[in-house]
Amino acid sequence: MPQLNPAPWFTILFFSWLIFLIVLPRKVLSHTFPNETTSRSAHTPKTEPWAWPWY
């Protein structure tokens, strides 16, 4: 199996991590979003039931 050939292993490792650390986070981080993140609240808000019709 050619994948088991140890010759380019370190080169592949080094090069792939280089691309992964340099190129990708820049591209991912450059996407900005308009809303702030909210953390999940532990309690759900208690809403009062209402019975009046919509009109």
Partner 1 sequence: MVLSFFDQFMSPSYLGIPLMALALILPWTLYPKPTSQWISNRVLTLQGWFINRFTQQLMLPLGRKGHKWALLLTSLMIFLITLNMLGLLPYTFTPTTQLSLNMGFAVPLWLATVLIGMRNQPTIALGHLLPEGTPTPLIPVLIIIETISLFIRPIALGVRLTANLTAGHLLIQLIATAAFVLAPLMPTVALLTATLLLLLTLLEVAVAMIQAYVFVLLLSLYLQENV
What does the binding site for partner 1 look like in residue numbers (CB under 8 A)?
1-5, 8-13, 15-17, 19-20, 23-25, 27-33, 39-40
In angstroms, what is the minimal distance from the CB of 45 to partner 1?
20
CA 26 – CA 20 distance, rounded (Å): 10
Measured from the CB atom, is 31 or 43 closer to partner 1?
A: 31
User: Terminal CA-to-CA distance of the chain, rounded, Å?
Assistant: 73
Looking up tokens 């990708």 gives 24
| 37, two tokens | 């993140």
In angstroms, what is the minimal distance from the CB of 26 to partner 1?
9
